Amino acid sequence: MGGAVFKHAVFGQPIAHSLSPRIHSAFAAQFGIAIEYRAIEAGVETFANELAAFAHAGGSGANVTLPLKQIAVAQCAQVTERATRSGSVNTLTWRNGEWFGDTTDGVGFVRDLEGRYGCVLAGRHTLLLGAGGAARAVACALIDAGVDSLTIANRTHERAAELATAFIGSGDVRVCRWNEISATGALDLVVNAISAGHHDGAQFPRLGGLASNAVCYDLSYGVAAQAFLAWANAAGAARVFDGLGMLVEQAAESFSIWHGRKPETQAIFDDLRREQVERSRQTPG
């Protein structure tokens, strides 16, 4: 295998500003593994063709992001149990002429909160905002991590109810109407999985109360997370985090699926955070 270059890519739309090529290149450098990691623009209509072309060109591992995580399941000959439960795939591995699918989002989320920030998830009374693909993956991770209760609220209530139904028998999982969140009682973990932060004018619901140790976490990062984090601070959260660390940790898990090596993640996390802070200083507000 001397001199082999592993071909990787991330597919999504938009994808031009993806940090994945940079994160994976930093991981590969730790082990002296030669990789080529491209960002390939693909929407729901073009993804199957783009993925096939990538495999044909020797692609051995791919990530997928918005809006492809759910439809990527159909491109896989096999998927892991955690991907089946999450209904989404973000990591594809080419094995014996077919794609094998997995999701590393849940692991990335838990490693960031528990590993990086030392926030134990077990026993927490949790509110999950959103019921899309990202919310589903995180709901699985929260249940597996042993949260005491999980309340799901979504702008479109039916989607929250549908998501909760998927977890019947998995513990205390409830749904709550968007405009009735103030009645949920004291919460000590609020996770934002709605994509509204990506748009202007995000409206977050009024909360009943946060416990004194409450942690609020947005799955997105940078500017996209600002509205939720400001709202969480105003609501009295003890600690607030964006999802930059989750991005790095889910990438590390993908990398170890492809290469069987577990990269160190703190250095690239620190670099990305420093740059993000510098950017926000240059463009305040």
Please give the residue ranges that form the binding site for ligand ATR (CB under 6 A).
66, 69, 130-135, 154-156, 159, 193-196, 202-203
Work out how close the CB of 133 gets to ligand ATR at its nearest, in angstroms, rounded to a whole number. Answer: 3
Q: Cβ closer to ligand ATR: 59 or 205?
A: 205
Q: Cβ closer to ligand ATR: 152 or 252?
A: 152
Work out how close the CB of 230 gets to ligand ATR at its nearest, in angstroms, rounded to a whole number. Answer: 16
Work out how close the CB of 269 gets to ligand ATR at its nearest, in angstroms, rounded to a whole number. Answer: 22
Question: CA 279, CA 5: separation in Å to the nearest integer?
Answer: 33
Q: Is 7 assigned a catalytic role?
A: no
The set of residues, in sequence order, having a beta carbon less than 8 Å from that of 206 and lying 6+ positions away, is 181, 182
Work out how close the CB of 194 gets to ligand ATR at its nearest, in angstroms, rounded to a whole number. Answer: 4
Question: CA 73, CA 7: separation in Å to the nearest integer?
Answer: 21
The edge-to-edge listing of strands for the beta sheet with 172-177 is 172-177, 149-154, 125-129, 186-192, 209-218, 239-241
Q: Cβ closer to ligand ATR: 49 or 179?
A: 179
151 sits in which H/E element: strand 149-154
CB 220 within 8 A of CB 242: yes
Q: Cβ closer to ligand ATR: 116 or 159?
A: 159
Q: Which of 7, 8, 24, 69 is catalytic?
A: 69
CA distances from 129 to 13, 66, 133, 156, 193 (A): 23, 18, 12, 11, 6
What residue number has its CB nearest to ligand ATR?
Answer: 132
Active site residues: 69
